[in-house]
Homo-oligomer: A and B are copies of this chain.
Amino acid sequence: MNSSPLIDQLIEAFRCLPGVGPKSAQRMTLHLLERNRSGGHKLSESLAVALKEVGNCSQCRTLTEEETCRICASRSRNHDICCVVESPADIFAIEQSGSFRGVYFVLMGHLSPIDGIGPEQLGINQLLEKVEKNNIEEVIIACNPNVEGDATAYYIAEQLKSSKAIVSRIAHGVPVGGELEYVDGSTLTHAFAGRKSMDRS
C-alpha cells in the first residue's frame, strides 16, 4: 500500500468489529480522520475506559463496571424469578420489551464441547447455588432457539430437577407480525405443538 502506515493500522484495527469488512473499515477510518476527530477521540477514550472498568456482575455475570449490576441491585425487581439468557444483548432486548421484571443470569455463551465450553465456563454451578441460596421460585430459560441453545436449556433443566424451583422455557412459535408463508418448518412445528386453547371463559 502506498498509504500511511498509521492509517493502514487503524483500518486493520476497525476490522475487529463485527460486520466490518475492508471497505467499511476504510470508510470509518477516513470519516473519523477527515470529518469527526472529536467523535474519534471520544470513541477511543470510551473504549479504553470501558475495557478497563467493565467486568462481570457477581450475581448474574452480565457486563457491568460495578460489583453488582443495576438489575441485581434493584429492590423494585422480583428476585424470586430468574431468567437465564446466553448474552448481555439478550438482557437488552428483554428489558426493551418490558415483559420481565425479575432478575437475570447470563451464561455468556452456550454449551459447545467442540470449542471447550462446558458447564464450568457457563457458570452453571453458580446458577444452581444462586437458585438454592435465594430460594428462587421460577427459572425461565431463554436460551436461543437453536441446537446449541436447546442442548444448553435441557442441561440446565436437568441440573435443576432436584431444586424446588419451577423450570420453564419461553415459548417458541410464529413471531408477531410475521407471515405464515415465510415461517420455517421447524418454527411451525413448535407453533403447532405449543398451541393453546382459545376458550378463556
Query: Could you tell me which A residues sit within 8 Å of B by CB distance?
Result: 1-7, 9-10, 12-14, 16-19, 24, 26-34, 36-37, 39-51, 53-54, 63-66, 69-71, 74, 87-89, 91-92, 95, 108
Mostly, the A contact residues are helix
Cβ contact of A87, chosen from B1, B6, B14, B34, cutoff 8 A: B34
Cβ contact of A27, chosen from B49, B66, B89, cutoff 8 A: B89
Cβ contact of A39, chosen from B6, B16, B43, cutoff 8 A: B16
How far does the alpha carbon of A42 sit from the alpha carbon of B51 in the complex, in Å?
11
How far does the alpha carbon of A30 sit from the alpha carbon of B85 in the complex, in Å?
14
How far does the alpha carbon of A177 sit from the alpha carbon of B200 in the complex, in Å?
62
Cβ contact of A4, chosen from B1, B3, B6, B70, cutoff 8 A: B70
Q: Is the CB of A51 within 8 A of B40?
A: yes
How many copies of this chain sit in the oligomeric assembly?
Answer: 2
Q: Is the CB of B13 within 8 A of A54?
A: no
Shortest A75–chain B CB gap in Å is 13
Q: Is the CB of B44 within 8 A of A44?
A: yes
Q: Is the CB of A13 within 8 A of B32?
A: no
Shortest A172–chain B CB gap in Å is 23
Q: Which residues of B contact A40 (CB under 8 A)?
A: 16, 47, 51
Shortest A51–chain B CB gap in Å is 5
